[in-house]
Amino acid sequence: MAESAQQHGSAQQHGSSQQHGSSPQHESPHQHESRQQRAHGGAGGRRIAVVGLGTMGAGIVEALARHDLAVVGVERDFESLRRARARLAHSLDRAQGHGQLDPPAREDLLARLDLGTDLAAVADCDLVIEAIDERMDAKAALLARLDTLCPPATVLVTNTSSLSVTELAAGTGRPARVLGMHWFNPAPVMRLVEVVRTVVTDPDALAAVVSLAEAAGKTAVVAADRAGFIVNALLFGYLNNAVRMVESRFATQEDVDAAMRLGCGHPMGPLALLDLIGLDAAQAILASMYEQTGDRRHAPAPLLGQLVAAGLLGRKAGRGFYTYAAPDSGEVVATGARVATGAAAAAGGAGSGEAGPPVRTVGVVGSGTMALGIAEVLARSGHEVVVRARRPDAADGVRARVQASLDAAVAKGRLSERDRDGAVSRLRATTDLGDLGTCDLVLEAVVEDLAVKRELFTDLDKVARAGAILATTTSSLPVIDCAMATSRPADVVGMHWFNPAPAMRLVEIVPTVLTGAPAIAAVLGLARAAGRHPVRCADRAGFIVNALLFPYLNDAVRMVEANYATIDDIDTAMTVGCGHPLGPFALADVVGLDVTLAITRSLYEQFREPAYVPAPLLEHLVRAGFLGRKAGRGFREHPRR
């Protein structure tokens, strides 16, 4: 199935290339549908106009007409109108071919359309949507013209993804009745519409626009007029941050994309998504947002500009961050080249061909959920596993807890009884750190406290055999600090597993500046042998996933603080508009607001980026004990388990 940019959250605009600010043209009877045949039809007698019938405008016309709304569509000239009709016919042909539209329904839909080149045709419509080029001067001129043509009660709507609705409204004589309505591409398919209010918006006009979106079968979310609205404001900072990761050789584009797909459940990684949106469109949206916000995170990454200048615009050009089989193809072809990194990033790639020392026996330090989840995964994959717990009662419970998890997998048909029994036989528990002395690799999964981890690594250095690898599961602490607590920093590496370990396929491999190639190769091999997908990155706060995810969560909290949008609308925008499995507030409640705060603080402490300062609302909720699902209340209330 072909994917659109908007199926993954992009806000690319495909407005008509024509302008509508000049005097209306007269059309011939053969070039304009008969208005008498379709006057005042459709749901509730409402007539809607769409001015500009490029890809986006034609899609809006189709989306409205599919839901029994009478639509007037206007283009600048007859050639543009011809292309619009062809575009609409092609889309309807596809829908009919897929069984989504039968011939009678198609005829009924076409009968509700009044397409032409006379701008004056919009004068008797209840609501007019402009969908022309994403240029302030062009949109302002068109809205001013519509203001003179339409009665005072008519609501005027701009379909913009990045321009100031307030500025556009101020150029008319009815600013209270001018709103934004950001549709997503392709409009007939995408369910989300962002309705953008200004500080002077008439509540009745807002209600009319929300009602129209719902009548067209869309999910409407309401946002204040600020750069990027909801989706772009959250999405493009994240995308730009991902570009900077690749630009700085912190990680490869393949590893960044895999990390966000497997670690966060996103339908596409950020670099693949940028290729789908179009790098030129993304650069333009970021530039517009930066002009409005002055936030350096919205300043387009230099690498983005270099790719655009080179004509590497993404899928539509056949090459962007990835190389594709042909222009407009979604098939990625391997070329051996890597954008901005030459042969390999300084952080390396997950595909290193060097073989490391074999890892047959693994020691796991800790007896919490993460430690036992990792132990289960490794035992299932054929490794001998020794779990070290601090207390005898914890050690006694290790096998029982792992067996319970394995039994559940058997009951669900995901594991055979034979494999379960084999895994249990390869697992043993101890309270003696010295019992880890024969292990090939020792992995700690204790509390996320640097002092505790450093003390543990000092002790492990004394008991582990020569050549054994020492790994930390930290998600936010510097791996180098753990390495320097030992006499063998070349053998220390980060191995960040995700919770729940038996279900999550991603493992971030984090070498330090002192980690040796054999240790890196060994943990990469161990992760693959355990059926996990390893991605490699440099030792920097947040690694890949957290460094991209938590600034995004913090930005969402700031939106609510500023009364910019509601928690529900923001979560809806990111799930419906971007295909994320959870919205930012639902996700923060799952992660834990205390964890979210701690990781956000660690990012700020390392990068000193003002935007990474934890949102005050997040701090206040944590102080109040509202920690998310585990506490029964976070951003939302949750039933106690």
Determine which helix (DSSP H) or strand (DSSP E) holds 302, and give its type and residue range: helix 302-309
Q: Which of 163, 128, 109 is nearest to 51 (CA)?
A: 128
If you compute the radius of gyration of the chain from its CA atoms, what whole number of angstroms results? Answer: 28
With contact defined as beta carbons under 8 Å apart, do 282 and 320 qualify?
no
Across the beta sheet with 127-130, the strand order is: 113-116, 70-74, 47-51, 127-130, 155-158, 178-183, 192-197, 219-224
Give the tokens for residue 162.
């990045």
Beta strand pairing call for 178-183 and 192-197: antiparallel
Q: Is 546 a catalytic residue?
A: yes
Buried-state track 115-148, b at ≥16 Cβ within 10 A, e below 16 = bbbbbebbbbbbbbbbbbbbebebbbbbbebbbe
HEC per residue, 497-563: ECCCCCCCCEEEEEECCCCCHHHHHHHHHHHHHCCCEEEECCCCCCCCHHHHHHHHHHHHHHHHHCC
Other CB atoms within 10 A of residue 624 CB: 11
Q: Is 561 a catalytic residue?
A: no
Q: What angle do CA 511, 517, 519 make, to 5 degrees?
A: 65
Q: Catalytic one among 33, 75, 134, 508?
A: 508
Residue matched to tokens 């032409």: 116
**Cα 470 to the center of its chain, rounded Å:** 33
Residue matched to tokens 């008519």: 154
With contact defined as beta carbons under 8 Å apart, do 188 and 163 qualify?
no
Q: Catalytic one among 475, 476, 554, 602?
A: 475
Query: Considering Cα of 341, then 347, then 350, then 355, what sign does the dihedral take?
Result: positive
Q: Please give the Cα distance from 314 to 308 (Å, whole number).
A: 9
Other CB atoms within 10 A of residue 295 CB: 15
Q: Is 159 a catalytic residue?
A: no
Q: Catalytic one among 8, 14, 20, 496?
A: 496
Q: Is 30 a catalytic residue?
A: no
With contact defined as beta carbons under 8 Å apart, do 585 and 635 qualify?
yes
What are the residue numbers of the active site?
475, 496, 508, 546
